[in-house]
Chain A
């Protein structure tokens, strides 16, 4: 059994050596001889990964004296092959209108403030946060309550 295994191993090692001989100039002498080979990593867009972290919800404190904002920051991490891009955009739905549930007579309106334009990302990015807020400019004349509106984050990925 041991002999068979040894022979098998020898055969394998021989084939291994043979493979090298197919790829580059063989080293056949037992004296020092060097040969340089290039090592390539082969990747494509299928290896691209990204994560965009957005709030589950945005809470805006009430302010009887003026404007108030809630944090709508988002964070991007990505590892994209050269030429691939990631774009993140945020927008207020329905003009930012906010209603109560059930819908009543009063409404509020929020607008996005901060870095509101779409942001593009490429290459290797680690936890880059984009500053964004949802702001209500005035609470005057409105019964105090929980008013809800919606904003949408849109992620667009373009492979190389």
Chain B
């Protein structure tokens, strides 16, 4: 009877991967049975439990004559094992030119444009990228407020 019971439980555990509806019956004095407690990767609302957030400051200021300005963003994530977030910063139109309301331009370059989280679970891990404006570009520019649009691209990568 015990062997039959053990076999039945083994079968039930295998099938549990497919259909978690089977149960085990204990019918003998001193008999045992096991229930496997298992987490799902989905929340009770059916959403994926894994996720991340890249937080970018609304204002990113470059002061006049600053040849190198470090700007930051943060990443918070809770992902599956061995999974991280890679964030890439780039000029949306790839012209690398800031413009003002009168269409005056100010050239710049970007550095440290890629950041990768170091763990599947991070809380506000900070990353910095650099906006470089050459001294000559500053000296040739009309004093004004120049701006450009940067695109942050986040993707999941193996870590």
A and B touch in the complex (CB under 8 A): no
Give the B-binding residues of A (Cβ under 8 A). Answer: none
